[in-house]
Amino acid sequence: PHPEPHPDVVHMPAAELDALRDAATAPERYAAQQAAAEHEQLVIAAVRDGRIEPRHRDSWLQVLNADPAAIVDLLGLPTGRSDIPLDEIGHAGNGDDENPLTRLWPR
């Protein structure tokens, strides 16, 4: 004699249960991946426009992944404040004499 199963209990193979659990967490994983990709793009843009220094890139990624509200802080930083100049500040010549030998033997 087998006991009568409880009406709320469903029997299924363990692999099927694992697949259901995996499918249930898929949207959360996808959202986390999307958020991480957006954070990375924001940090890359902040480095490019001088809001943060390249050496602080990983720190900012950790901050944004832990606290997405920090995006406001990142976007509020002034541009061009990097200690490393990112813009060209000058050049010599007009580009015609890139080869040093052309200065010795003019055309």
> How much is the CA Rg of the chain, to the nearest whole Å?
29
DSSP for residue 3: P
Long-range contacts of 41-49 (CB under 8 A, 24+ apart): 42/71, 42/74, 42/75, 43/74, 46/74, 46/77, 47/82, 48/86, 49/79, 49/80
Work out the burial of residue 40: count CB atoms within 10 Å of its CB; fewer than 13 is exposed, 13-18 middle, 19 or more buried.
middle
- For 14-68, the pLDDT digits (tens) are 999 999 999 999 999 999 999 999 999 999 999 988 888 899 999 999 999 899 8
- For 77-105, the pLDDT digits (tens) are 888 765 556 566 766 666 665 666 666 76
